[in-house]
A = this chain, B = another copy of it.
């Protein structure tokens, strides 16, 4: 709780006390001056309440009302078919969305850029595995047992809710709306919010009972919380005997192929494998639009590395990047994210190792080049209680949007956990080998029981005594050896016989020998950057969306400021006026754009040029080509509205250069004459 809020709450508590006592005075005296004082106090109270409301839901930050912003954005996205609730004509299904034409184009551009930025740049081994997965694989990974959320049921209607969401909503609503809360109660509710992920079913159940939380729709009582597995279950083959699931992540497909991929890579580490594909989570009650859905596209990288050497050959390329990081310590001490130089964060141990640091840097470059705002992107380190016990370190790329800070990319050093789990379950060793150029000499303990002598001495007990002797650890063996050398015999406890026996020096030889080893066999660590493509795209929509007044000033026009690399359509072509000659030129340009592989739209409707620009801006099209002569045309840049004049034959190559990132708009503006929009009826 920040100090401003604390102060407001204190002041409010004081005012309420004053109002109460002043009310008593009024009731006692019924004097008109007392009523005046009461009314003025009430006015002050209401003003403080409004301030408090605004500070609690954060909606006043930056002067923009988040709800209004989101409503306008979502309306635009749905109207222009960036996305569509799936199966809408059948009333839809919660948590399932279609990408319509512009959304689908943005998505395939994001994926193409991901392939270029990660797979091609790092020579990763991309694979493509099925979504249908047999149970044995997801038992090994732990998903069958642990991939659950806690659920409660309306005891009368059977409607299901996520238990932690109900508690979260209750706490948030209390904090926002109940202004009479004591500071202690505020602290308790905030503590509950922070602990949500850690509550056991019993703790969550008792909180729900304690706060009297009921089913939101019916006000009926709720069942105790119980775990619900989030995987979509199915059955493979006609017999119904092979249980399967729709994969909840793509990573397992890579892990089970480790042996082949390692061999494909020439049995060398490090190397990375990558996969883009659908993943499925049967959310209990999906909310937050595109951010929490039941089917989504993941892009995952598994970078396999020697646990004893987590350096990265290209680490030097990212050391000087500076961006917002939110290390564990800052979070625990209630501080904000801080701008850090990546190289410093790695060298002072904030980030566990170079390879993890390298991927954090690459993710930062990926997201910002896509169009995510640098100021609204931070890398948050997992707290100790958030991480699995085996993880060495985890950082989430969080992007701020109207729903708050949203985890969009997870970057985790999962150590050897996954490969070990599948090695054990499948019986196939998923290991790497380091061949020594010179064999290494290793001192090894050698215990050799002399079975003949032991047999003569102990007959039927021989076997158990041999086993016990061979199982000695180094310390014990050295003690036995010393005793035998000094006394010639030793009392030796054999647990399986439940007694001690006397071992003589002719019954055993114990020595340390130097052995040659030719290789080291080990399970590689895996560093996993995992991208929620749909979440990144939604945040990109939020960061790209703005409004500006029309030329006449009578309405606000929507614009998506997508960088060319992700823009769904790279340019539109339209004749300035309806005219067969201009139309022919427009079609000729369209043909040359298709040949150059540039997605575009041609608009030969008679709509005013201003309306056509507005339409194109609302789809985030970066360039508009207007045919106003039969030799040259104008190219208009979306955000600046600047225009240049270009010869018809050069249009396609100019647009390709600037959308491929070979040249910038500034380069092109410098080369071609600018065109004043005064002559065209621009908006």
Tell me whether A236 and B89 are in contact (CB under 8 A): no
Among B232, B253, B284, point to the contact of A98 (Cβ < 8 A).
Answer: B253
Contact with B along A221-239 (1 / 0, CB 8 A): 0000000100011111111
Closest chain B residue, CB of each to CB of A297: B128
Return chain B residues, CB-CB under 8 Å to A422. 89
- Measured between C-beta atoms, what is the minimum distance from A429 to chain B in Å? 10
Contact A605 B257 (CB under 8 A): no
B126 contacts A101, C-beta separation under 8 Å: yes
- Are the C-beta atoms of A597 and B120 separated by less than 8 Å? yes
In the complex, the answer to whether A282 meets B236 with C-beta atoms within 8 Å is yes
Q: Give min CB distance, A220 to chain B, whole Å.
A: 15
A391 on the B face (CB < 8 A): no
A55 within 8 A of B: no
What is the bound-complex CA distance between A238 and B125, given in angstroms?
A: 37
Asked if A259 lies at the interface with its beta carbon under 8 angstroms from chain B, I say: yes
A130 and B234 within 8 A (CB):
no
CB pair A134 B260 closer than 8 Å? no
- Contact: A132 with B96, CB < 8 Å? yes
Q: Is A108 an interface residue (CB 8 A)?
A: yes
Min CB distance A459 to B, Å, is 44
A594 lies within 8 A of chain B by Cβ: yes
A11 at the B interface (CB under 8 A): no
> A98 contacts B257, CB within 8 Å?
yes
A506 within 8 A of B: no
A158 contacts which chain B residues (CB < 8 A)? 239
Once A126-B104, A257-B100 are accepted as A-B contacts, the answer to whether A134 and B237 lie under 8 Å apart by CB is no
Assembly CA distance A425 to B89 (angstroms): 9
For residue A84, CB closer than 8 A to chain B, the reply is: yes
In the assembled complex, the CB of A529 is this many whole angstroms from the nearest CB of chain B, namely: 18
What 0/1 readout, one digit per residue, does chain A (87-125) give for beta carbons within 8 Å of chain B? 111100110111111011101100000011000110101
- Residue on B with the closest CB to A124? B101
User: A151 at interface (Cβ–Cβ under 8 A)?
Assistant: yes
A246 interface residue per 8 A CB criterion: yes
Are the CB atoms of A127 and B104 closer together than 8 Å? yes
- Chain A contact residues, majority secondary structure: mixed
Assess whether A19 is interfacial by the CB under 8 Å rule. no
CB contacts (< 8 Å) of A103 on chain B: these are 128
With an 8 A cutoff between CB atoms, is A256 at the interface?
yes
Among residues 416 to 445 in chain A, which have CB atoms less than 8 Å away from a CB atom of chain B?
A: 422, 425-428, 430
Contact in complex: B133, A87 (CB < 8 Å): yes
**Quick one: which of B81, B232, B242, B257 contacts A88, CB cutoff 8 A?**
B257
Select A90's contact among B160, B256, B599, beta carbons within 8 Å: B256
Query: In the assembled complex, which residues on chain B have CB atoms less than 8 Å from the CB atom of A136?
Result: 87, 90
Give the residues in chain B near A260, CB-CB below 8 Å. 81, 84, 88, 100
Assess whether B93 is in contact with A236, with CB atoms less than 8 Å apart.
yes
Q: Does A213 contact B (CB under 8 A)?
A: no
Q: Given A134-B93, A256-B90, A422-B89, A99 and B128 touching (CB < 8 A)?
A: yes
Q: Does A478 contact B (CB under 8 A)?
A: no
20 residue pairs of the A-B complex, CB under 8 angstroms, read: A88-B260, A89-B422, A89-B430, A93-B134, A97-B130, A98-B127, A98-B130, A98-B257, A99-B127, A100-B261, A100-B264, A101-B126, A131-B295, A132-B246, A132-B295, A151-B238, A160-B239, A233-B234, A246-B246, A278-B278
In the bound complex, residues from chain B placing their C-beta under 8 Å from that of A101 are 125-127, 261, 264
The answer to whether B100 and A127 have CB atoms under 8 Å apart is yes
Task: Assess whether B89 is in contact with A428, with CB atoms less than 8 Å apart.
Answer: yes
Question: Is A86 on the interface with B (CB-CB < 8 A)?
Answer: yes
How far apart are the CA atoms of A430 and B295 in the complex, in Å? 26
What is the CA–CA distance of A139 and B412 in the complex, to the nearest angstrom? 43
Verify A128–B98 contact, CB threshold 8 A: yes
How near does chain B come to A171, taking the closest CB pair, in angstroms? 23
A100-B257, A233-B235 are known contacts; what are 4 more A-B pairs with Cβ within 8 Å?
A: A84-B257, A103-B128, A234-B234, A238-B284
In the complex, what's the smallest C-beta–C-beta distance from A595 to chain B, in angstroms? 10
A280 at the interface (CB under 8 A from B): yes
Min CB distance A567 to B, Å, is: 14
Cβ–Cβ contact A294 & B236, under 8 A: yes
- A143 interface hit (Cβ, 8 Å): no
User: Are B256 and A88 in contact, CB atoms less than 8 angstroms apart?
Assistant: yes
